[in-house]
Chain A
Amino acid sequence: MTTPVPMLDIDGLDAWYGAAQVLFGLSLKVETGEAVALVGRNGAGKSTTMKALIGLISRRAHRLTLRGADISALPTHVIARLGIGYVPEDRRIFSDLTVLENLDLGRRRRAPGNTITDWSLEAVFDLFPHLAELRHRPGGQMSGGEQQMLAVARALVGNPALLLLDEPSEGVAPIVVEQMTLALTRLKASGLSLLVSEQNAQFCAAICDRAYTIEQGAVHWHGPMAALAQGGRSRPAFGPPG
């Protein structure tokens, strides 16, 4: 029996903002259908990891593959087409465009070899019914929580195989966090692989299988989510359990 090719395989990832190096040999894996948490405090390198993966900042790695294909030297739009959906930290909704127009720009056929659900408009409106009511509203006139849903929906209609979610619970009301938890649980059940960066350990515990903690641009600890969550229900996940 051969080991299955991981969805995402990172080994020794370095990344830079301008001249300043911000990731130092970061390594992690996401298996197909797995949900993985990336935890650490602000500035530890979570968002940077995601930006480096999608090619928004300069990076270098021993190995950086998506389903076995090397993506370390590809430009952002090609990586996106290969099946990575990106939900950025500050959502980055196109504020002049309506919900439908935002979704229209995200639409993309499934990459070859992607066998999970085909995300039509109907399917994302089924996942976030509230968005269907707002379909003609400009993104700039939506609340933070609504924008968060739109950002996830916009990534989904691109039919990714792997979804990068950068702090989906940051800055939104706890009530929206609950809705987001439910939606992500459904996404995971549909077979989508997830990489979620979070400071909120409870949120991760509800969705993720495994966790990596990041400190100063490198992986500090990794293991099953349960081991990290043990620390207590409101314990911020800033380091290894101890």
Chain B
Amino acid sequence: MSFESLLFQAVNGLASASGLFLVAAGLSIIFGVTRIVNMAHGSFYMLGLYLAVTLAPLLGETVGGALGFWGGIVAAALVTAGLGALVEVVLLRRIYAAPELYQLLATFALLLIINDAALYFWGPEDILGPRAPGLSGSVEFLGRHLPQYDIFLALIGPIVLIGLHIVLTGTRFGRLVRAATQDREMVAALGINEAVLFTAVFALGTGIAGLGGALQMAREPANLALDLSVLGDAFVVVVVGGMGSLRGAYLAALLVAEVKALCTALGVVEVAGITFNMSRLTLVAEFLVMAVVLVIRPHGLFGRPQPAAARRGEAEAPLVPLGPRGRLVALAVLAFFAGIPLFSAFASYAPVLALDMVIAALFAASLHLLMGPGGLASFGHAAYFGLGAYGTACAATVLGLPTPLALVIGIATASAGAVLFGWFCVRLEGVYFAMLTLAFAQIVWSIAYQWEEVTGGSNGLFGVWPDPPFDSANGLYLAALAVTLAGLVLIRRLVFAPFGLALRAARDSRLRAEASGIAVEKVRWLAFALAGTLCGAAGGLFAFAKGSISPEAISVGRSIDGLVMVLLGGVNSLTGPLLGAGGLTLLQDMVMRESAYWRALLGLIILAAVLLFPAGLAGGLRRRRAP
């Protein structure tokens, strides 16, 4: 490593930090005032970049290159802010009163829709923007050449930070933002129109994100994967910096970006005879930064402890074991599923579809253990599905282990991952928990994507076929059914055991649970580990069912599928996620394979569900059933 490359990477890190900060700052301000974690925030960044690469050449033709470039950036930021305002008025306004989880889902649906809209307008290919006129050269510093545009970007972060600080402390709008961050109702009671304030704040936040994206025009091409990758990074920054703190966000962005830059600068290092390619470890570095900060300061560098989530909805009814009729129904359903191989003679597709449903059922049920009795909505359950799948696939192909043993290895991998990540996650609650779980899932996804030697990179692993007797559709299906049944029985026992009671107690009132001597974090940690373990089993079965595993199968979309299954079916009982898993699998099988825009379709389904049942789908149904 040379001094030049270190300096180069340091400036590069500062430039990246500015981009990260612009996204995280908007996310933080919007959350402060509206209490909504905008899952679509990365999408506005992506839109800003797409708009800039489109508008800059267009403007360039009429007003000249330089004016076109900078005008394009400004126009992209403004258009993004306008779209943000539109989204706030059309969508968010309807869901401010909905439970937190539904707000997260609704904005995630927005992410799916925006992504497909970008696919529709700009196509799947990466689009490169023009270089910055006047800033495409380099400057000499201490005898080294540094790119001018990176230096310009490095300055943007602090400039926006100071600008926002002046707006927040020196203007009436800023005072309103700070007041509303603390107490929206009281702001309204003073005669201030919240609706206008919210729209303005959302436009500001999305506009800053759009600006951040547009400014990247001269550095990276616009592509459709940006929304999620930026979102994951922004979550890490916000969690590390502390929600609601702008300087925390800047410092965290700096920390994350510089550590990554340092890893890249170090390149290949030899320690004690072992060579590490540090530039491949950037994601692990990101994780380590987050881990260290969260261990020392659980609420982030400048964060304050947040009040517990306000809107959990009504208390659930006490759980009761199944009566004789319920048992009969459960047995009948089981008998039906066990009998499906009999149909395979005239409907050969039956066991294949049923296998998908059974795997989805185990996946959804394991998430339900965390979400229902645990009250912890994980937005990154795909991580454990992925660890299970990759663990199994590696064991079966690379190590050539027999099928049952490979599955056990997969489950153990997921279990280890859940134990490790869970230790951090259970320190947080509510949206913070959701954000951190999503960030971890992004890290697992990136490792699968980047660690080509082991995971096969973007292509994934192939030829993961089970040995006899599991090599037939029926054989694998029956084995999966048995594993899933065992998982469901375990979850059912857990829920009624003292452990399940304690998990529910911690959900109902953490304060009371701790005052009673329940070690809330340990209970949640175990629940997290168990949920991850069972989810790993689903992932392992998935790898055998498809014969392959690729990063796409373990992306955030998988996590969201799980949430949709649990919520569509109902979070209050184990039956809900099972119905949801069956329903969504059928839907995906029948409808979504037919369309290139299945993401938008799923997004619209989620939005419809959230808007039609703003108090929660299960709650809505329960109220209807009530006399």
Direct contact of A and B (CB under 8 A): yes
Binding site for B on A (CB under 8 A): 18-19, 54-56, 75-77, 80-81, 86, 88, 92, 94-97, 101, 104-106, 108, 154, 158
Known: A18-B314, A19-B314. A95 touches B193 (CB 8 A): no
Q: Check B144 for interface membership: any CB of A closer than 8 A.
A: no
Complex CA distance for A92 and B189, rounded to whole angstroms: 11
24 contacts between A and B (CB under 8 A): A18-B314, A19-B314, A55-B188, A56-B185, A56-B188, A75-B188, A76-B185, A76-B188, A76-B189, A76-B194, A77-B191, A77-B192, A80-B190, A86-B189, A92-B183, A92-B185, A94-B179, A94-B183, A94-B186, A95-B182, A96-B182, A105-B187, A108-B190, A158-B191
Q: Across the interface, do B189 and A56 meet the contact criterion of CB distance under 8 Å? A: yes
For the complex, give the distance between the alpha carbons of A92 and B187 in Å: 10
Contact of B178 among A19, A76, A96 (CB under 8 A): A96
Please classify the interface of chain B as helix (H, G, I), strand (E, B), loop, or mixed, using the class held by over half of its residues: helix
Minimum distance in angstroms from A160 CB to a CB of chain B? 9
Q: Give bound CA distance, A166 to B179, whole Å.
A: 21
* Chain A residues positioned under 8 Å from B192 (CB to CB): 77, 80, 105
Given known A-B contacts A19-B314, A77-B194, A105 and B188 have beta carbons under 8 A apart: no
- CA separation between A157 and B188, bound complex, in Å? 15
* A54, A76, A88, A101, most chain B CB atoms within 10 A: A76
A19 to B619, CA, bound (A): 11
Q: How far is the CA of A75 from the CA of B175 in the complex (A)?
A: 22
Given contacts A19-B623, A56-B185, contact A77 B179 (CB under 8 A): no
Give bound CA distance, A94 to B189, whole Å. 13
Cα distance, A214 to B51, chains bound together (Å):
60
CB-CB < 8 A to B172: which residues of A?
104-105
In the assembled complex, B416 has its CB within 8 A of some CB on chain A: no
Minimal Cβ-Cβ distance residue in B for A151: B186
Select from chain B the residue with minimum beta-carbon distance to A55: B188
**Cβ-based interface call for B176 (8 A):** yes
Q: With A101-B175, A105-B179 as given contacts, are A77 and B186 in contact (CB-CB < 8 Å)?
A: no
Query: What CA separation (Å) do A77 and B172 show in the bound complex?
Result: 17
Extra 15 A-B pairs, beta carbons < 8 Å, given A80-B188, A96-B178, A154-B190: A18-B314, A56-B185, A56-B188, A56-B189, A76-B189, A76-B194, A77-B190, A77-B192, A80-B191, A88-B189, A94-B186, A96-B182, A104-B172, A105-B179, A105-B192
Per the bound structure, the CA–CA distance linking A92 and B186 in Å amounts to: 7
What's the interface size class on B, roughly? 20 to 34
Contact assessment for B186 and A88 in the assembled complex, using a CB-CB cutoff below 8 Å:
yes
B314 contacts which chain A residues (CB < 8 A)?
18-19
Provide the main secondary structure of the chain A interface: loop
Interface string of B404-447 (1 = CB under 8 A from A): 00000000000000000000000000000000000000000000
Closest to B178 in A: A96
B226 to chain A, nearest CB (A): 34
The distance from the CB of A90 to the nearest CB of chain B, in whole angstroms, is 10
Closest 4 interchain pairs by CB? A80-B191, A76-B188, A81-B191, A92-B186
Measured CB to CB, the closest approach of chain B to A50, in angstroms, equals 10
Q: Beta-carbon contacts of B181-210 to A below 8 Å, as 1s and 0s? A: 111011111111110000000000000000
Contact partners of A158 in chain B: CB under 8 A? 190-191
Q: A101-B175, A104-B175, A105-B176 are in contact. Are A77 and B182 (CB under 8 A)?
A: no
Q: How far is the CA of A95 from the CA of B190 in the complex (A)?
A: 16
Known: A77-B194, A92-B183. A54 touches B189 (CB 8 A): yes
A105 to B189, CA, bound (A): 11
Q: Which residues of A contact B179 (CB under 8 A)?
A: 94, 97, 105
Residues of A near B193 (CB, < 8 A) are 77
- Give complex CA distance A86, B623 in Å: 34
Per-position 1/0 for B297-316, Cβ under 8 A of A: 00000000000000000100
Residue of A nearest to B191 (CB): A80
Contact partners of A80 in chain B: CB under 8 A: 188-192
- B residues in contact with A108, CB < 8 Å: 190-191
- Chain B residue at minimum C-beta to C-beta distance from A57: B185
Residue among A94, A96, A101 having the largest count of chain B Cβ atoms under 10 Å: A94
A interface footprint on B587-627 (CB within 8 Å = 1, 0 otherwise): 00000000000000000000000000000000000010000
A94 and B623 CA atoms in complex are apart in Å by: 37
Q: With a 10 A CB-CB cut-off, give which of B175, B190, B191 has the most chain A CB atoms.
A: B191
Cα distance A106–B189 when bound, in Å? Answer: 9
Minimum distance in angstroms from A35 CB to a CB of chain B? 20
Chain B, 271-298, CB within 8 A of any chain A CB: none
B622 to chain A, nearest CB (A): 10
CB contacts (< 8 Å) of B191 on chain A: these are 77, 80-81, 108, 158
User: Complex formed: what's the CA distance from A152 to B188 in Å?
Assistant: 16
Residues of B within 8 A of A154 (CB): 190
B310 to chain A, nearest CB (A): 12
CA distance A101 to B190 in the complex (A): 13
* Separation of A96 and B194 alpha carbons in the complex (Å): 19
Report chain A residues within 8 Å CB of B178. 94, 96-97
Complex formed: what's the CA distance from A19 to B620 in Å?
11
Cα–Cα distance between A55 and B189 once the two chains are bound (Å) = 8
Asked whether B175 lies within 8 Å of A77 as measured between CB atoms, the reply is no
In whole angstroms, how far apart are the Cα atoms of A77 and B191 in the complex? 4
**A96: B residues at CB distance < 8 A:** 178, 181-182
CA distance A57 to B186 in the complex (A): 13
Provide the bound-state CA to CA distance between A56 and B185, in Å.
7
Cα-based distance from A56 to B186 in the complex (angstroms): 9
B542 CB to closest chain A CB (Å) equals 40
